[in-house]
Amino acid sequence: MMTSVDIELMRGLSDPLRLQIVTQLAREILCTTHLVEETGARQTNLSNHVRVLREAGVVETEPCGRFTYCKLRPDAIAQLAGQFAGLAESALTTTENKRACP
């Protein structure tokens, strides 16, 4: 069963730009300036997407002078992957479990 945390996490990853940000952060810790360069997004748009990811628990941010570094939280991604693995396993065992129509 998906929890509200899982749903918030999936919402955080549902946007193509946010998924691109997460993909970049899976490779290295980057400041928002780097993410603007890598994604081509505007600074304000990127900052809003980073905020959504931070609130969803996917990304941690750390101020460093006038820059903000972003770091992926792999435990959050692993948790969601586990949920999907559980769904897949459940689907494998219910292939014969067909509910009759009324």
Could you read off the pLDDT of 15-38 as tens digits, one per residue?
A: 999 999 999 999 999 999 999 999
Mean pLDDT of the chain: 87
Q: Give me the residues paired with residue 31 across strands.
A: 69
Task: Report the candidate in 75, 49, 50, 76 with the shortest Cα–Cα distance to residue 63.
Answer: 50
H/E segment holding residue 67 = strand 67-72
Nearest alpha carbon to residue 22 among 49, 1, 2: 49
- Range 4-84 classified under CATH 1.10.10.10: yes
Mean pLDDT of 60-69: 94
Looking at the whole model, is its pTM more than 0.85? Answer: no
- Angle (deg, nearest 10), helices 4-13 and 43-55: 160
Both structure tokens of 76 = 């959050």
